[in-house]
Amino acid sequence: MKKFLSILAVFACFLLSCSQPDDGPISVYPDGMHDRGEGYVLKARIDSGRVVHLRKDTLKVELDSLWTLANCFLRELRFDESVDDTTLSLFPVVRLKMTDEDCATPPFHPETTLFLLPNDSWKNYREVRVYNTDGRLEDSIAMRSGKFLYDTLKIYLDSTFKDYYSLPRRTEGLPSVMRSVDSLKERTFYWRSLPSRCEYIIDTCETVADTAYPKNWSLRDTNLVPIRKECKDSTERYCLARDWVYDSTALGDVQTRLDTLWYTSWYLVLEIPKCGVINKANYGGMTPKTFFKATQEIFDPESDKECFSGIASDRSVMRLDSAVVMPDPDSILAIFDTASVGRDSVGDRVDDAKQK
């Protein structure tokens, strides 16, 4: 009993030695919230990723990864503005409040969209930028005066678009879809032959040797390739797949098989108003022997002063696999002008004269 009381006394002394005069409940709020009452925003996007915003239209800013501790703690959400020459910068401000209300506490507040109404000062801006709470640039958009033009596309892609050796390849006229080669990478696979025999022959036929290369090759190991027999007449069957018996004790010598990876890109080339740009496009897949379908929104500037860029081109290029408008399309247009031309419709081939 004395031993137990001694241990208890030592433990009590230990607790007293760790205590402080200002000890109290542990705060559930992050550091500084009582003083500043601030949340934060990590991601933001303007006008759903469009390239140009018209000055006369309401500006839409989507905020994601918005932290407010709990959904009912948000008191105010707005932007601080900063102007540098013709650039308007937006910095989110998230104010929180204390409340006893019981509400959901997800990791982040639901995605929130703020709408900024146009005003007279917008005529002085040519770009709008939005930052997160840490001061990192999240998105930007050009601000111009003009109008948007809308159109729907339907372009046939013939079977030659899947033939790498025919690239670069494009469809006739404008708008046009083009596929070109970016780079090549050579790979080497190692394999050994695996002798096999048919356990149960279905048809008696004249046979020939067949190397049954696999559909998928491994770069990390030596691939085993069965050596079989098959009927010379393809309408007859020599052996069912499940009836082949392999002899792993009589493997052939290691051999190599070369393979080439082709890295390609798809582009959409459009005629546009002078100094205009593709603002947004929705499109389907790029599958040979089918129609490529798209809807497009093109910016038509009010005057030369409202040019989207310094390049006064009448053609614009969008990279389809990333939905990015090429800021300097000259190199792609040079390839486009020399590319071979495919069928302009099902069953109709463009003649050589048109290809030039």
Per-residue pLDDT of 265-286, as tens digits, reads 999 998 888 888 888 888 888 8
Cα–Cα distance, 132 to 44 (Å, whole number): 7
Are 93 and 79 a contacting pair, CB within 8 Å? Answer: yes
Are 36 and 96 a contacting pair, CB within 8 Å? Answer: no
- The one-letter code for the residue type at 335 is I
Cα–Cα distance, 53 to 68 (Å, whole number): 30
Q: What is the mean pLDDT of the chain?
A: 81
Give the pLDDT mean for 5-22: 56
pLDDT winner (highest mean) among 120-129, 212-221, 240-249: 120-129
- The one-letter code for the residue type at 346 is V
- 184-202: per-residue pLDDT in tens? 999 999 999 988 888 777 6
Give, as one character, the DSSP assignment of residue 232.
S
Per the structure block, which two tokens stand in for 244?
């082949």
**Alpha helices (H) along the chain:** 2-18, 33-36, 330-338, 352-355
| Helix, strand, coil share (%) of the chain residues, nearest 5 | 15, 45, 40
- 209-237: per-residue pLDDT in tens? 777 788 788 888 888 888 777 777 777 76
Confidence of residue 351 (pLDDT cuts 50, 70, 90): very low
Q: Who has greater pLDDT, 314 or 50?
A: 50
- 52-109: per-residue pLDDT in tens? 999 999 999 999 888 887 788 888 889 999 999 999 999 999 888 877 788 877 778 7
